[in-house]
Chain A
């Protein structure tokens, strides 16, 4: 798993994000410190860049470390994609890079993949 190669231990403080969560590409602030909860589970997240127009079967990678947010208005800046099944993908609100994570419509939970963002 790509996100297991990095050590994120120092980013977690009392289960929350110690530092700001920002876009890797443009530095837009996605979450302010202490607003999201560290969670682990496995999810197939589509790659930011697809090698071809994959249509209904986008290329994905398994991601397992997330910042979870239960109220979408906790986000400082974020974009929500159109709905795909029961999911909306999350993007940077300023440069549209994504998916940086996903929103689960039934549970209203949002999950940002640690490996798709910058912490600073």
Chain B
């Protein structure tokens, strides 16, 4: 067995209404040369990223939904093993903001009790179409004691920062606990999925 090349492994999820930009947050590229490639037709399931925080090498495994959120069928199996959740709404879509409360209940019901959450108000590049003020986002986050940030997957604003902050919050929580193996290795073949086209950022 090769020696481990990292100290900690955090599984992170993207949650929120359909259309808020979760897939774009994971699959960041927009109008570039790669969008007509083989990969963009299949879509990305998850990414592994390595960050270094406080001298620790941390692997982030970031999962996107396969579209289950449309049918409100996100259940325990998607949340299994998750240590962090990005709860995303669209600042140009009131409904997606109101549903944050619903998603928080869903998370309470299905996810690990001590899962670290962060609310993202995405599409902050669309200033002329904004419906949800930043203050409302901050308020709801404060009420629930959750971190908050406005992001743009399209303009690449705050995406990396958000993931780093979430990872740091998890690190704070896990500090002192036994590193490494408490995270169960996530099965790649855990869910059935059809290859859906990416309808993203174009």
Chain B residues closer than 8 Å to A96, beta-carbon distance = 27-29, 34, 37, 39-40, 44
Chain A nearest CB, measured from B168 CB (Å): 18
Closest-by-CB residue of B relative to A37 is B2
Chain B residues closer than 8 Å to A40, beta-carbon distance = none
Complex: how many Å from CA A78 to CA B26?
Answer: 12
| Majority SS at the chain B contact face | mixed
Chain B residues closer than 8 Å to A83, beta-carbon distance = 45, 188-189, 193, 195
B41 within 8 A of A: yes
Most buried by A among B5, B36, B66: B5
A73-B59, A93-B47 given; A35·B2 CB < 8 A: yes
Complex: how many Å from CA A110 to CA B76?
Answer: 28
A80 within 8 A of B: yes
Picked from A32, A53, A74, A98, the residue with its CB within 8 Å of the CB of B39 is A98
| Majority SS at the chain A contact face | loop
Complex: how many Å from CA A75 to CA B2?
Answer: 13
Chain B nearest CB, measured from A22 CB (Å): 13
B78 within 8 A of A: no
B9 within 8 A of A: yes
Complex: how many Å from CA A81 to CA B59?
Answer: 18
Number of chain B residues whose Cβ lies closer than 8 Å to a Cβ of chain A: 33
Binary contact track B96-137/A, C-beta < 8 Å → 1, others 0: 000000000000000000000000000000000000000000
Complex: how many Å from CA A50 to CA B42?
Answer: 13
The answer to whether A73 and B6 touch across the interface, beta carbons within 8 angstroms, is: yes
Q: Name the interface residues of A33-54: CB closer than 8 Å to any CB of B.
A: 35, 46-50, 53
Chain A residues in the interface with B (C-beta under 8 A): 29, 32, 35, 46-50, 53, 58, 70-84, 88-89, 91, 93-99, 103, 105, 108
